[in-house]
Amino acid sequence: MKNVFFIHWEPEECEQFAAQISKWGYNVISESGQQAEACRRVNEMQPDCVVISLRKYVSGGREVGRFIGTNRATKDIPIIYMDGPRDTRRDRIAEILPDAKFSAIQDLEATLQELLG
């Protein structure tokens, strides 16, 4: 079973999304708070994929992704950004992390399947 690390900034919503991803057959580890804690845990756990929600805190999600995507120990872990605005902030993320994927929640299962098999 593949491990997915899910990051969302509201604890209640984080639990709901993590439960949904788990129903799709993935082992889900989640973080719903601090950027530094999310980065530390991803570095420690080395999941197969990281899903970062952009629903509430775009700049926090961008910074966590930048850390994961540029850190020597985690740079090869695929990143999927979930939801969020379709504006220049997404363009800024793509400049920093050109391999990152973007997915709406309704397409996330297919995106994970495509990425992880």
Q: Look up the CATH number of the domain holding residue 82.
A: 3.40.50.2300
For residues 10 and 3, the answer to whether their CB atoms sit within 8 Å is no
d(CA 5, CA 24) in angstroms, rounded, equals: 14
Query: For residue 28, is it within any domain?
Result: no
Q: Alpha carbon of 61 to those of 25, 28, 95, 114: distances in Å?
A: 24, 18, 15, 22
Q: With 0.85 as the threshold, say if the pTM is over it.
A: yes
Q: What do you get for the CA distance between the two ends of the chain, in Å? A: 10
State residue 85's pLDDT score. Answer: 64
99: containing domain: 3-22+34-112
Q: Give the Cβ contact number of residue 87 at 10 Å.
A: 9
Query: For residue 44, is it within any domain?
Result: yes
Number of domains the chain contains: 1
Confidence of residue 86 (pLDDT cuts 50, 70, 90): low
Query: For residue 29, is it within any domain?
Result: no
Query: For residue 103, is it within any domain?
Result: yes
**Per-residue pLDDT tens digits for 19-73:** 999 999 999 999 987 888 899 999 999 999 999 998 877 778 888 999 999 999 9
Query: For residue 27, is it within any domain?
Result: no
Query: For residue 9, is it within any domain?
Result: yes
Calculate the average pLDDT of the chain: 90
